[in-house]
Amino acid sequence: MKIFATAPEDIDKAFIDYWTAIHWASGTVAKSVFGLTQKQCVVLAVLWEIFENSSFGAKYWKFLGEDYTGDSTYNIITDIAAVAIGYSSVYI
């Protein structure tokens, strides 16, 4: 298991990939723009990861032109943590 995605085939499989930054940003937007609580933000992140990694989510990404087969468990956990950290970073 890689920590950083250093090649295209590592994306969604390594702990951290370029999507990690987007998840972090979504946490900051959830707090600063939409005024969500951290609990609401994390629940939405979990629901997104469930959707994204379902068969319907895979079809959605393929419809958008992505060759997506789902995230690794490690990547899912990192994505959710990135959302929570992004949310918390608004206070800094």
Return the beta strands (E) in the chain as ranges: none
Global pTM value: 0.87
Q: Which residues contact 53 (CB under 8 A, 6 or more apart)?
A: 70, 71, 76
pLDDT at 87 over 70: yes
What CA–CA distance (Å, rounded) separates 55 from 57? Answer: 5
Can you give the pLDDT at residue 18? 86
For residue range 36-49, list pLDDT tens digits in order.
999 999 999 999 99
pLDDT at 64 over 90: yes
